Amino acid sequence: MIAAPDGERVFWKIDYFADEAMEYGSEHPDDPTWSYRVLTIMLAAEY
Residue 1 pLDDT: 62
DSSP at 3:
E
Q: pLDDT tens track of the chain, all 47 residues? A: 676 777 888 899 999 999 999 999 999 999 999 999 999 999 888 88
Residue 16 pLDDT: 96
Number of domains in the chain: 1
Look up the domain containing 29 and give its range: 2-46
pTM of this prediction? 0.73
Residue 47 pLDDT: 81
Burial degree of 36 (CB within 10 A; 0-12, 13-18, 19+):
middle
**Pick from 3, 10, 13, 4: nearest CA to 45:** 10
